[in-house]
Chain A
Amino acid sequence: MDDIALRAERVSKVFGQSRVLDDVSFELRRGEVLCLAGENGCGKSTLIKILNGVYTPEAGAAFSFGNADAVSRITPHDARALGIHVIWQDLALFPHLSVAENIVFDDYVASPFRPLSRRAARHEAREVIERLGVPLDPDARVEDLSIARRQLVAICRVLRAGARIVFMDEPTASLTRNEVQTLLEITRSLSAQGISIVFVSHRLAEVLAVCQRVTVLRNGALVGTYPTEGMTQTRLSQLMTGRELTLTPRHAACSGEPVLELRHLSRTGEFEDVSLTLHRGEILGLTGLLGAGRTELAHVLFGMNRPTTGELRKNGKPLKMRSNRDAIRNGIAYVSEDRLHLGLVQNQSINMNTAVTVLDELEQPRGFLAPRRLRELTAEWIRRLGTKVSDAELAVSSLSGGNQQRIVLAKWLATKPDVLILDCPTVGVDVGAKAGIFEIIRQLADEGMSIILISDEAGEIWMNSDRVVVLKAGRVSRELAPNATTEASLEEIINA
C-alpha cells in the first residue's frame, strides 16, 4: 500500500508573466484514491497536464515512478508507457460509435491498417466491462447512453489501455446521487486492483467519502497533503480558499406579498398538482432527486412548456404564456443548469453574452445597436456582481466557472426580472465562488427579488432558503421551513 506510484518534486510552470505552479510536490501511492483540491485557477489542471505530458515543466522538476530513476519531465509517450491516463470532464468519447468501438479505439490509432474483426472488438470490450462489473451493452451507441454510462465507457477505455494512474476531472459534476454512489464504488474497486486514482471534484462531501488523502493547491502553490480521516468540509474549504467562509444560514421569515402563485399545476408525465406560492423577497428552495420534476416545473414557469392543467398567477393576475418570450416580458428569468451549452455562447464576447437578452432595448430608439450603452451595461453588471474580467471584449470561454456563472446571472438580471429561477447554479463552481454566488442571490432577495433556487445539494438549500419544497415523483411531498429542521434531516427527506 505504501509504495509510491508517482512522485513529482519542485514542479513549476510559468505562462508569460504569471507563475501558474510554484514549486509543487506531489506524491501518489499505489492503489490510493487521492483528491487534488483547490479553487479554479489554483493550478490543478496545469499540474495534471504536466503529469500527463501535455505541458513541459520549468527546469528543476523531478519525477520518479516506483524504483525507476528520476526524470526531469514526462513526455506524452512516457505517460502512455507508464499507464497515466486522464478522464477529462468532457470524456472525449465518440458518440456515433458503439461502446465496444469506443473502448478499443486506441487500437485503431495504434495499428490503422490491421484488418479488424468486430467480434474480437466486442469480445475485448466485454472483458473489460466484466472486469469493471458494470451494466454496459457493447453494441449500444454512446450517444444513446446517459452521462453516467458514458463515464463508465471512458473508464473501461482507460482500463483497457492498461491504466495504472487515472486522473478523473470533475467526474461527478453531472451525475445524479445514485450514479455518484456507483461511481464512487467503482473508484474504490479500481483502487483495490492497485490502480491509483486522482480525483478532482468541487463536491467536498464526495471527496471526503472516497479519498484517502487530499492534496490542496492554492494560487499555484502547495498548501499541503492531508489524510481525509478527521477532515471536515469546512476545514477543507478553508484550506482551499485560505479564508474563513462564514455564511450563516438564512432562515429569514418572509412576509412579502405573493408574486407567483401555482394552483394545481400539472403537466402530463412530468409533475402533478403542484400548488406553491412565491413571495416578494423570498428564496424558495426547490429540491428533490433528479427526475423528480424540478427542472420540468421550472420550464413551465419560464413558459417553455405549457401546463396541461392548473393555473399560474403573477401578482394576483392569471398568467398564460405561449413561449419564454412571454415569461421574460412578465419579469420571469430562468438560469439553466447547463451553463456551458445553453447559458452562454462560449466563443462570443463577455459583452455580447451579457447583453443578449436585452438587445432590443439597447437598439432603442433608432433600431441600431448602441455599442457604448452595451459596454456600459456590461460594465455595470460586472461591477455589481463582482465578476473578475480583464477585458469584456474577450470570449466568455476565457473566464473561470464561477465568473461564467456570474455572466449568466448578469444576462438574466439585465432583463430586470422580479422572479428569478436558478437551476443548480453552483454545478461545477468551486467553493469560494459558490459562496460568492450565494451572497449575490441573498442580496437580490433582500432587494425584493423573488427567487426559486433549484438544487440537489441539501446543504446549500438548507443554508440559503427561506422555505424548502421537496418534490418527489412529480408531486410536492414536503414543504418546510429550514429553521424547523437540520441539514442532515433535510438530506434524509430528499432521499427518502
Chain B
Amino acid sequence: MRKLHLGTEGVLAAIIVALCLVLGLTTDTFLTTQNLFDLLNNQSVNMIFAAGLVVVLIAGGIDISFAVAASVVQYVVMTLLMDHMGGGNWLLGIVLSMAVGSLLGLVNAFLIHRFRIVSIIVTIGTFNLYFGLLMVFTGGVSIYDVPDWLYYSVPLIDLPASRGSATLYLPVAVMVVMSLATGFILTRTGFGRAIYGFGSSPEAARRSGVRVGMIHAFAYGWLGLCAGVAGLMQAHIVQEVVPNALIGQELPILAAVVLGGATLGGGRGSVTGALLGVLLLAVVQNGLNLLGVTPYAFRMIVGFIILAAITCSNLDKLLPRRTISQEARS
C-alpha cells in the first residue's frame, strides 16, 4: 500500500521538479517567488476540490456534480448572508458553505445508497438538476454585491519581489487545512481505512460489518463540504459570484486526481497524489503560458499527458499479464 503510494506520488513529484527546473532554465519568470505563489493562489480552489474528490474515488464512486454544487453553494450562501444576516463574517460564511455543500453531497449519497444507482448516473442527474435550478432561480444574473470581509483579499505571507511583492493569500491556507484534514481521516482513522476497504471490495467490506451507508454519506458529503469551501474561496478570489464560473471544472479536476493515482475502480488514491496531479497540470499550463505557447494548445497537451501517464502506469501491469486478458473470450 505504502510502497505504491510513494511510487505514484514520488514519480509525480519528480516530474514536477524536473519540469520546474526546465522551465526555470528556459524562462526567467517561472522560478520566481511571485510566479510560484501565484500558481498556488490560483490552484488552491482546484486543490480543495481534488482533496474532496479523491475520497469519492477511493470509495469506488465518481462525482461530476461537485463544481456546479459549488456554484449553488455560492449563490445560496451569498443570498442568505446579504439578505438575511446583514453580511455575516468569515466564520459564518465558512460554516454555511460547508453545511450547504455537504447537504448537496448527501443528496447524491442518498440516491446512490437508497436506490442503488450507479454514482456516475446519479451525479450526471444532479449535475444537470443543480445547474438547471441555479440558472432558473438566478436567471443567469451574477452577484456583484458580496460582503466586505469576502471582498478584500487576506494576505498571509508577503515577500518583497522584483516587481512589487509576492503574496500568498488565505485560500492557500484553507487548502492546506482541508487537505490535512482529509488526509488525516483517510490514513489515520479506522473509518478512513474502511473507505479504502469498501472501495477495494464492497462485498468483503459489507461482510465485515462496514456500514455502507456511512461510507457513501461521508464520501459524497465530504466532497460536498470541500466543494462548498472551494466555492467560497473562488468567490473570494474573483470578488463576485457568476453562475457558470465553475461548471466545466469537474472533468479537468477528475483527470488530475486520476493522474494522482486514484482509479475509477476504487481502493486506490491519496490526497497527496491528488494535489500533485492538480499541481502538475497547473505547472504545465503555467509553463506553456510563459513560453508563449497558444492557450488553445493547452487542452491538447493536457489530454496527451493524461493518456501518457495512464498508459505508463498500466504498462508494468499489462506486460506480464497479457495472456490473462486474452483468456477473457474462452
Tell me the complex Cα distance, A88–B203, Å. 12
A110: chain B residues at CB < 8 Å are 190
Q: In the complex, A336 Cα to B329 Cα: how many Å?
A: 10
Interface pair A336/B201, CB less than 8 Å apart: no
Q: Would you give the 0/1 interface string for B16-44, flagging 1 where the beta carbon is closer than 8 Å to chain A?
A: 00000000000000000000000000000
Contact B193 A93 (CB under 8 A): no
The answer to whether B328 and A139 touch across the interface, beta carbons within 8 angstroms, is no
Cα separation A336 to B326 with both chains bound (whole Å) = 12
Task: Find residues 193-248 in chain B having any chain A CB closer than 8 Å to their own CB.
Answer: 193-194, 196-197, 199-201, 203-205, 207-210
A472 to chain B, nearest CB (A): 21
- Name the residue in A90, A93, A112 with the highest tally of chain B Cβ atoms < 10 Å from its Cβ: A112
- Which residue, B1, B196, B199, has most C-beta atoms of chain A within 10 A? B1
**Shortest Cβ distance from A298 into chain B, in angstroms?**
9
> Is B2's beta carbon under 8 Å from chain A?
yes
| Subset of 6 A-B contacts with CB under 8 Å | A92-B201, A97-B193, A113-B189, A113-B191, A118-B2, A304-B329
| Contact A141:B1 (CB < 8 A) given known A94-B197, A97-B196 | yes
Task: Determine which of A91, A111, A112, A304 lies in contact with B327 in the assembled complex, contact meaning CB atoms within 8 Å.
Answer: A304
A95 to chain B, nearest CB (A): 6
What CA separation (Å) do A39 and B197 show in the bound complex? 34
Is B323 among interface residues, defined by CB-CB distance under 8 A? yes
Which of A101-109, A183-191, A219-227 has 4 or more CB atoms under 8 Å from chain B?
A: A101-109
| A92 CB contact (under 8 Å) in B193, B199, B208 | B208
Q: How far is the CA of A114 from the CA of B192 in the complex (A)?
A: 11
A116 engages B200 (CB within 8 Å): no
B188 contacts A105, C-beta separation under 8 Å: no
How many residues of chain A have a CB within 8 Å of chain B? 38
Closest CB of chain B to A481's CB: distance in Å? 30
Q: How far is the CA of A296 from the CA of B328 in the complex (A)?
A: 15
Report how far A201 CA is from B197 CA in the complex, Å. Answer: 29
B4 lies within 8 A of A141 (CB): yes
Q: Report yes or no: A335 in contact with B330, Cβ–Cβ below 8 A.
A: yes
Q: In which size bucket is the chain B interface?
A: 20 to 34
A96 in contact with B267 given A114-B189, A115-B189 (CB within 8 Å):
yes
Known interface pairs A96-B1, A299-B327; A111-B190 also in contact (CB < 8 Å): yes
Q: Any chain A CB within 8 A of the CB of B3? A: yes
CA A96 – CA B194 in complex, angstroms? 12
Find A342's partner among B2, B194, B330 (CB 8 Å cutoff): B330
Q: Does chain B have a CB within 8 A of A307?
A: no
Question: Which of the residues A94, A106, A118, A302 comes within 8 Å of B330, measured between beta carbons?
Answer: A302
Report chain B residues within 8 Å CB of A402: none
- Chain B, residues 312-330, CB within 8 Å of chain A (1/0): the string is 0000000000010011111
Chain A residues lying within 8 Å of B327, measured Cβ to Cβ, are: 299, 304, 336, 338, 342
Listed from nearest, the 3 A-B pairs whose CB atoms lie closest are A108-B190, A96-B267, A112-B191
CB atoms of B328 and A305 under 8 A apart: no
Closest to B269 in A: A96
Complex interface: chain A residues within 8 A of B330 (CB): 302, 304, 324, 334-336, 342-343
Output the least CB separation between B281 and chain A (Å): 25
Residues of B within 8 A of A98 (CB): 1-2
Cβ proximity bits A66-91 to B, threshold 8 Å, 1 near / 0 not? 00000000000000000000001011
Task: Report whether B2 and A139 are in contact in the complex, using a CB–CB cutoff of 8 Å.
Answer: yes
Q: Which A312-369 residues sit within 8 Å CB-CB of chain B?
A: 324, 334-336, 338, 342-343
**A105, A107, A324, most chain B CB atoms within 10 A:** A105
B201 and A112 contacting across the interface, CB-CB below 8 Å: no
Q: A147 CB to closest chain B CB, in angstroms?
A: 14
- Known: A305-B326, A324-B329; 19 extra A-B contacts, CB below 8 A, are A88-B207, A92-B201, A93-B204, A94-B205, A95-B200, A97-B193, A97-B197, A97-B267, A98-B1, A101-B197, A107-B190, A110-B190, A115-B189, A139-B2, A299-B327, A304-B326, A335-B330, A336-B330, A338-B327
Across-interface contacts of B205 in A (CB, < 8 A): 94
CB pair A114–B196 under 8 Å, yes or no, is: no
A115 neighbours in B (Cβ, 8 Å): 188-189
